[in-house]
Amino acid sequence: MFEKILVANRGEIAVRVIRACRELGIKTVAIYSKADDLSIHKKYADEAICIGPPDSTKSYLNKSSIIAAAELTNADGIHPGYGFLAENAEFSFMCTDNGVTFIGPDSDTIETMGNKSKAKETVKKIGVPVIPGSEGDLQSSDEGLQIAEEIGYPVLIKASLGGGGKGMRLVENKDEFIKNYKSAKIESKLSFGDDQVYLEKFFTHPKHIEIQIIADAHGNIYTLHERECSIQRRHQKILEETPSLAINTEIREEMSKMSIEIAKNIGYVGAGTVEYIFDPVTLKFYFMEMNTRIQVEHPITEMVTGFDIVKNQILCHANIPLSEKIANIQSKGHSIECRINAEDTENNFRPSPGEITSFHLPGGYGIRVDTHVYAGYNVPSNYDSMIAKVIVYADNRKEAISRMSSALDECVIEGIKTTIPLHKKILKNDNFIRGNFDTNFLNTLIEE
């Protein structure tokens, strides 16, 4: 078991990891930038080290400084959370090379699954259906044009090392291809330091379904059912729920089987998520990507399964076998998560940093809030705008929607703008209530 874990992150996920370590009897080290001097994660940890200035490239992305902080505090593990260095193969290697356990996959696994085109090639070899498109990275615009003509428009040009919608371009016809190909490569280079892109067929009304997996170092791999993640803006999830109304037991079992095969094939260890595009018309699903880390939306899975994903993720990397009882875990009830961002939804989602002058959280049966903010906290402009996650659990979806609506009504966050008004509109929307939505839902709602 670990003696001490350095949490290489900030915000609510840093708090979440620190709490899990506390329950396991593991000491923690928080790192923080000068912008996060008053952040709660710093106060909750047993030790805290300032890692650098507000600029994330000089603090939370500074690999050498984080390794040095781990050595200085004698930490024997580093938990990267999500974002920042969580899926950075070089950082995983540096941890191992310096005798510190990276609480995530090894560098080879991250490199394979982190490169979207390589990941597609890998899973295709074991029989997992993939989205029609290029076989690996595009070598030229001419190659891309030829493939687009073969599979039919619309198509997506995507950054091979991408995420969060960066380096991604939707192309509706041949005339738009060259311009979008060039701009995707430029944005990919600026965002990820690599301009490689690949091409995929674009589905007009898809659902975004993901499967949570957990795997130990002894070959035991389990799935914890699916999450419905179709409510998103610019490829960034806004609201997630489980189970999904879109898939039946047969499809769920097939997705889970495929996800286990992927994890087994690459020797995966820890918590991970396999993401799929699901076509509700044909009832077919296609591998999209694998996230080799804990997901923002992991709490809804914890709510319906009673399984602590973060604690067990840590145990997996401590070389402790998972319990065979996990195979029999059933999903019960329904859970919804709303990501509360410091954004002005009435002004094109402009970031809304600043001081939170008043802050009150909802409570009651079946309500959970993961956050790192409080009254008097100053939301910095340097990082992701998410300030809280409101999660509810109920016996069924109808009750979960009602409970979430009530919870959001109780939320008081003053001094800044938040996405709470948008979430309330989503929950009252007839199409959402009926489950009649896809990845285009939110864009349509915003336009209306």
Find the CATH number of the domain harbouring 78: 3.40.50.20
Residue type, 444: T
Task: Clarify whether residues 197 and 223 are in a common domain.
Answer: no
Task: Clarify whether residues 301 and 386 are in a common domain.
Answer: yes
In a domain, 250, yes or no: yes
CA–CA separation, 110 and 127 (whole Å): 21
In a domain, 441, yes or no: yes
CA 408 → CA 166, 194, 424, 427, distances in Å?
A: 30, 41, 7, 10
Task: Clarify whether residues 265 and 187 are in a common domain.
Answer: no
- Four-residue CA torsion sign, 448, 347, 164, 426: negative
Locate 11 and state its tokens.
Answer: 């915000």
Task: Clarify whether residues 326 and 416 are in a common domain.
Answer: yes
- DSSP category for residue 316: H
Burial (CB count <10 Å: 0-12, 13-18, 19+), residue 370 = buried
Q: Which residues of the chain have pLDDT under 50?
A: none
Task: Clarify whether residues 186 and 214 are in a common domain.
Answer: no
CA–CA separation, 413 and 369 (whole Å): 13
In a domain, 160, yes or no: yes
The pLDDT of residue 234 is 84
Q: What is the CATH number of the domain that holds 144?
A: 3.30.1490.20
Task: Clarify whether residues 188 and 290 are in a common domain.
Answer: no
Looking at the annotation, which residues are catalytic?
A: 293
The pLDDT of residue 304 is 98
Number of domains in the chain: 3
In a domain, 71, yes or no: yes
What is the residue range of 271's domain?
A: 207-447
Q: Which of 368, 373, 369, 340 is nearest to 40 (CA)?
A: 373
Q: At what angle do helices 420-428 and 397-410 cross, to 10 degrees?
A: 150
Q: Calculate the average pLDDT of the chain.
A: 96
In a domain, 123, yes or no: no
The pLDDT of residue 136 is 85
Q: What is the CATH number of the domain that holds 298?
A: 3.30.470.20
In a domain, 115, yes or no: no
- Domain boundary among the residues 147, 167, 201 is at 201
